[in-house]
Amino acid sequence: MEEKPQASSGGGFSGKLSGLYNKLFGVIQFTLGICLLPFAYSSTLAFFAQFNAIEASLQGCFWAGVITFLIIYHFAWEPLPVYTKGHHLLELIFNFFKPLVKVAPFLLPVYTIVLFILFGIASAFTRESWLFRAGMFSFGLSIVLHLVFSSKSMRGKKGDFLKGNYIFGFSLIYILNLFILAFGLSLIFNTFSFVDFSNATYSVARDIFYAVFKQLFLR
C-alpha cells in the first residue's frame, strides 16, 4: 500500500509564530496607547485653556465648522473622496521617504495645514474680520474631517488584537493634530500661546503619571 505524504508542520508552526507575534505586538501597542491617554487628556485641557482666550465670536465660527461637518457627514453625504484626495496628496509629497508614505496621511491634517498657509498668505493683504471668521470655520471643519476619517480607517482594520493599534494610533493622531492646530492658531492670535499649551500638556500628564505611580507603588 502506497503511503500518503505527510503534511509539513512548518507552515503550521510558522502560522502560530506569526499569530503569537501579532498578539504580542498588539499588547505592546495597547500598553503604549494607554500611556498616551493622559497626554490626550492633558493636551485637550491645555488647548481649550488657550482657545478660550480667543474672541468668543471666532470660537463660535470654529465650532460652526465642526458642527457643519458632522451634520453633512451624518445626514447628507460622507465626504470620503475629499479625505482620500488629501491622503493621496500626502503620499505624493512624502514619496521620497517610503516609511512616511504609510503614516503621514494618517498623522497630518493636510487640509488644515494648507488652510493655515492660505490664511497666512491672505492675511498679508487684508486683516478684515471676514477672513478670520472664514479661517476659523474652515479650521474647525477640516480638523474634524481628518480626525473622523482617520479614526474610521484605523477602526476598520482587521486583526487588531485588543484594539491596540487603534488606541495607540488614534491617540497619537489626536495629540499631534491638537499640537498642529495649536501651533497654527498661535501664529494668528497673540492671545494663544503655543509655549503655554505645550507646558500645560506636559505638566498635567506628568501629574497624572505621578498620581498613578504613587497609588500603585508608594502607598
pLDDT tens digits for range 22-70: 677 678 888 888 999 999 999 999 999 999 999 999 999 999 999 999 9
Q: Mean of the pLDDT values across residues 84-111?
A: 82
Q: Considering the domain boundaries, does residue 9 fall inside one? A: no
pTM of the predicted structure, to 2 decimals: 0.86
Q: How many domains does the chain have?
A: 1
Q: Considering the domain boundaries, does residue 187 fall inside one? A: yes
Domain assignment of residue 150, given as a range? 28-217
Q: Considering the domain boundaries, does residue 72 fall inside one? A: yes
42 CB neighbour count, 10 Å cutoff: 20
Q: Considering the domain boundaries, does residue 2 fall inside one? A: no
141: Cβ–Cβ under 8 A, 6 or more apart, which residues? 65, 66, 68, 69
Q: Considering the domain boundaries, does residue 4 fall inside one? A: no
Q: Mean of the pLDDT values across residues 88-114?
A: 83
Q: Considering the domain boundaries, does residue 73 fall inside one? A: yes
Q: Considering the domain boundaries, does residue 151 fall inside one? A: yes
Mean pLDDT for the chain?
87
What letter represents residue 162's amino acid? L
Q: Considering the domain boundaries, does residue 143 fall inside one? A: yes
Distance separating alpha carbons of residues 164 and 23, to the nearest angstrom:
9
